[in-house]
Structure 1
C-alpha cells in the first residue's frame, strides 16, 4: 500500500481507510478531520459501520484483537485508539503484533499526540506500508499561509496573497479558527477572495492593524503609516506586536535583498512581494532600520514612558529610507 504523496502539512486531507493508520501530532483539528475523512470514505463503501473507541493509556491486554474480530452480527469496524503518547505497558506489544498482521476487513486508527513514547511502534510503523500521517501544529506563518491557500483552493476558489497574510495575522495561531475563517469567507462570497473582503470581516483585529502600519511604512507613505500607528495605539493595540510586525516585514525584505531567485522558508509569492519592496532599500538603509527597530524593542520592553516616540522613529526610518 503506497503512502500519501501529499505534503505533511496537508496529508490529513488525503488519508484513506487502511487496515492501520497512524495519526501523529498534537494538532487536534487535523487529527479530528483525518478521522472524519476515514469514517466518511469507509462508510461510502460499507452499509453498516461500527465505530469503537479505545484508550492506549487504560488499555487491557487482548482488547485490540477482540475488537477487530468478526462480529456475530457482521458489519465493518473502525477502531479508534487514542492516547498513544501515554500508552500503558499492555498496549505496545499488542499494537506491534497487530501491525504485523492486521485484520484486512477492519480499520484501526492510532492517534499519537507526539513525543517518543512507544518509539518502537512509531519506527516500525514508518517502515510499514500503512499511512503515517503527521497532524502537527502549524508553527510558522508560511505554514499557516500555505494552509489558507490549500483550503481555499480545495474549495475551487482563489485568494489574493495579501488577503492570506492579513487573514493569518487576524486569526493568530488557532488552526480551527483559521479554518473557520476560510469557510466563512468561502461561504459568504463568490469569485476570488480579496484583501478588501478579509478586511471587512477581520480588519478590526489588532494584528491586522499592525501589518497595515508595516505595509504603509515599507511603501514609503510616512504620513499614512503614522496615522495608522496612532490610531492603533489609541484603539488599544500593544506596542510590542507593532514593532514585531515592522521587524517581520523588514526581515523578509532583508532575506531577498539582492536576490532574484527563490528563498528558503518563504513561499514564492512572499519572496516576489519582498523583492518588489526591497528595491528602494540599500544595505546601509537596512542596517540603520534594524538598529532603530532593536532600539525601539529594547525601549518598549524596558517599559518606556512614551511608547509612541520609539515606534514613530522606527516607522519613519522605514518610510523615509532611500530619500536623499
Structure 2
C-alpha cells in the first residue's frame, strides 16, 4: 500500500507540524510562511526556542543536538535555510530525524526547487505522516488580485476593485513591492482606498506612469498619453526609463508579430504568459509590419535623445508620444 502524500498548502494556511517543507522560488511568500509559523508557535508557548541552520554549511550531528529535549522541555523551532545546497551530512541527518521526529520540535526546511539537490530528502518529507508542504511559487497575474485583496483584508482596510487593480498594475513585477505598497497606502490614508488614491499616492512611480503612457499610445489616445506624460514629468519622472518602457513593450510586440500557433503554444515558445501574448496580439491589430518597424526606429531615436543626443530630453519623449500615438490612431 502506497504511503499517503504530504498535504500541499499555501503560505497563509501554514500550521504547526513536526516537519514542514517550504518549497518554491518565491522567497517573499516563503519568508511570510516561516514568520507565520513562528508566530503561531509563540502563541502556543512564549518560551519557544528558535534555532537556525544553514543546510549548505551543515556539519554532522548539529540537527540532533538542537532537537534533543532540554532540561526544561521548551518547545523548539528549527529553521533550515539553503536546502537547495544541502550537504550530504545534512541530508543524512535529516532523513534519520524525520523518521522519528522529536515531540515538541518543529523542523522547517526551506528549498527553492531550483535544483534537484536533496531530492531524496524532499521525497521522504513528502511521504512523512503528519508533515506539511507549503508551496511558494511565483504568483501569476491572475493570482495578484486575490493576494492584494487579502493583504488589504489583513490590514482591515477597504478598497475598490479599481484601486486593487491599480496597485497590481503598478507593482505586479515584484510581489514584495506590491505588499509594501499596499501596507504603505493603507497606513498613510484614511477611508476607502480608491483608484484615484492609488494613482495620486504613487504618481511618482516611474514604471507605473511610463506604462500608463505606453498603454494610451498603443490605444491611439493622443490626449490621454500627453496628459499622463506631463503628469509624470511634473512629478519628476526620468525620461530614460520612460523611453525604456516603450522599448520593452514594442520589442514584445515585435516578438509576438512573428509567432505562430495558438496562444498557449506561442506563449511557451516565447517564454511569456498566455495573458501577455493575448494582450500583445490585440495591440498588434493597430500595426502593420512597416508601422511597427517605424515605431521601433522612432524609439531608438528617442533613446539616443534622452541619453544626451539632444538638449531637451522631455521634448524628445513628448515628440515620441505624438509620433507613436498619431501613427496608431491613423
TM above 0.5, yes or no, is: yes
Over residues 112-155 of structure 1, what are the superposed CA-to-partner deviations in whole Å (9 max), with x where a residue is unaligned?
244222122223333445222233455x5555455323322444
Deviation, 1:195, is 1.4
The answer on whether the counterparts of 1:292 and 1:313 sit within 8 Å (CA) in structure 2 is no
Deviations 1:45-92 (CA, angstroms, capped at 9, x unpaired): 235311122222232222222322222211211111222222222111
Distance 2:187 2:31 in 1: 22
**Quick one: structure 1 residues 250 and 317, their matched pair in 2 at CA, closer, same or farther if it must change by over 3 Å?**
farther
Instruction: Give CA-to-partner distance per residue, 1:235-257, whole Å, 9 cap, x none.
Output: 42324333157659989xx9xxx
Hey, what does 1:118 align to over in structure 2? 118
State whether residues 141 and 172 of structure 2, in contact with CA within 8 Å, keep that contact through their aligned partners in structure 1. Answer: no
Q: TM-score, normalised by structure 2?
A: 0.72
Partner of 2:325: 315
Q: Distance in 2 between matches of 1:192 and 1:126?
A: 44
Moved more, 116-125 or 212-221: 212-221
| Residue matched to 1:71 | 70
Distance of aligned partners of 1:56 and 1:200 in 2 relative to their CA distance in 1, 3 Å threshold: same
Kept in 1: contact 2:160–2:193 (CA 8 A): yes
Once the two structures are superposed, the pairs formed by residues 87-98 of structure 1 within 5 Å of their partners are: 87-98=86-97
Note the C-alpha offset of 1:197: 0.8
Residue segments in structure 2 that go unaligned for 5+ positions in a row:
258-262, 268-272, 311-315
Whether the 8 Å contact between 1:206 and 1:237 is mirrored in structure 2 is no
- Please give the alpha-carbon distance, in whole angstroms, between the structure 1 residues aligned to 2:300 and 2:56: 47
8 Å Cα contact 2:22/2:111 also seen in 1: yes
Q: Secondary structure at the match of 1:44?
A: helix
Query: As a proportion of its length, which structure holds more helix?
Result: 2
Unaligned runs of 5+ in 1: 6-10
How many residues were matched structurally? 297
TM-score (normalised: structure 1): 0.73
1:49-198 equivalent positions in 2, closer than 5 A = 49-116=48-115, 117-129=117-129, 130-138=131-139, 141-168=141-168, 170-171=170-171, 173-190=173-190, 192-198=192-198
Say whether the 8 Å CA contact 2:253–2:284 is kept in structure 1. Answer: no
Q: CA RMSD in A?
A: 3.9
Is 1:17 the counterpart of 2:20? The answer is: no
